[in-house]
Structure 1
């Protein structure tokens, strides 16, 4: 192969790669210092072990099972999106018997969806999954019925999330 052909292949590859990275940068995302597209891994699962009455604020899931990317805070109970993209979030609850309970999933202080258990004389379980388009810095968290208690003797009450696809949509 001639030097010109090799040079042409090299320039074509470099130009195509740089355009992809520049295009990604224009969408507010993820190139490193060498102008290469960065891969981001974000995933967490956390469980609450607190059976006390819930405050008026995010539920604290204190037992962190996994926290790839360190985007979930066990101190605040809040997930902070480190990059823009499509994320999947799941959450579940087990309410105590004779204890009707609502749990809400919020994105930046706006309710997205909710769970409910009626607590009709037995423990009940409820769960939900939602896909959200997030911007960098968006917050996602759960809140429960203030003053109510979760069944926390076993790991039924969990909150998890994963980055599905990076980018601005």
Structure 2
């Protein structure tokens, strides 16, 4: 079995889900769906699971990796990894779990300029000013990964999409 893992990381609001959705029909890959203790919204699809059941699955060794963020628990199941290219949106804290489990792992950090991130988070109207500033500070933390690439997602979607596809093809 030839497994290639591409981890997608980056702050909330940098456009990870939009970018991944835009390429789904243009590249042969397994876009791995996360398990989350939050009901999916229009921007993402995930497997919703209640907290007690999630904790049971963690104890049962169901996940390659699980992490907590913003009051929710996230996880990637072992069964979701397929032969070939697997693209997975995760937290930066989970990178090591994948690097310890798989041989061929690349991490792409999606980013945008701070002012653009601030404006996107503000326009979502989900968080107060203090929470937005904390998210922006967190986005400045250095990513720890063996094979790390930074991708600037500040261009119009069509332009970012073609550059991102080129990057993915060069990694595989």
Higher fraction of strand: 1
Higher fraction of helix: 2
Give the TM-score normalised by structure 1. Answer: 0.24
Give the TM-score normalised by structure 2. Answer: 0.24
Larger Rg: 1
